[in-house]
């Protein structure tokens, strides 16, 4: 995840405020707060929990993780997959 955060960090421009959201299912290794603490330092811009310019969203399902940077008005949708 750290490598992917380093890539996504480019989508949060200098001076933009942001916050991180972590949702996890079927994953008990780390608590949400531990994940946020470990990854937030990689961004380096000011955090704003109330009115961010960008949202770094992390979805963990079992051994899989999806990461995205969204504007507050963007819609995040997880498509169902079977297999």
Answer with the residue of higher pLDDT: 81 or 37: 37
Pairing between β-strand 54-61 and β-strand 64-70 as defined by DSSP bridges? antiparallel
Is 44 domain-assigned?
yes
Domain count, the chain: 1
CA distance 28 to 18: 26
pLDDT band of residue 83 (cuts 50, 70, 90) is very low
Does some domain include residue 7?
yes
Instruction: Tell me if 79 is assigned to some domain.
Output: no
pLDDT in tens, 1-46: 999 999 999 999 999 999 999 999 999 899 999 999 999 999 988 9
Query: How far, rounded to the nearest angstrom, does the alpha carbon of residue 34 sit from its chain's CA centroid?
Result: 13
């Amino acid at each position: 995840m750290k490598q992917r955060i380093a890539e996504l960090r480019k989508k949060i421009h200098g001076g933009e405020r942001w916050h991180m959201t972590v949702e996890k299912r079927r994953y008990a290794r780390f608590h949400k707060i531990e994940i946020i603490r470990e990854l937030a330092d990689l961004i380096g811009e000011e955090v704003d929990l109330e009115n961010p310019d960008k949202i770094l969203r992390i979805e963990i399902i079992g051994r899989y993780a999806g990461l995205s940077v969204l504007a507050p008005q963007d819609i995040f949708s997880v498509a169902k997959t079977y297999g």
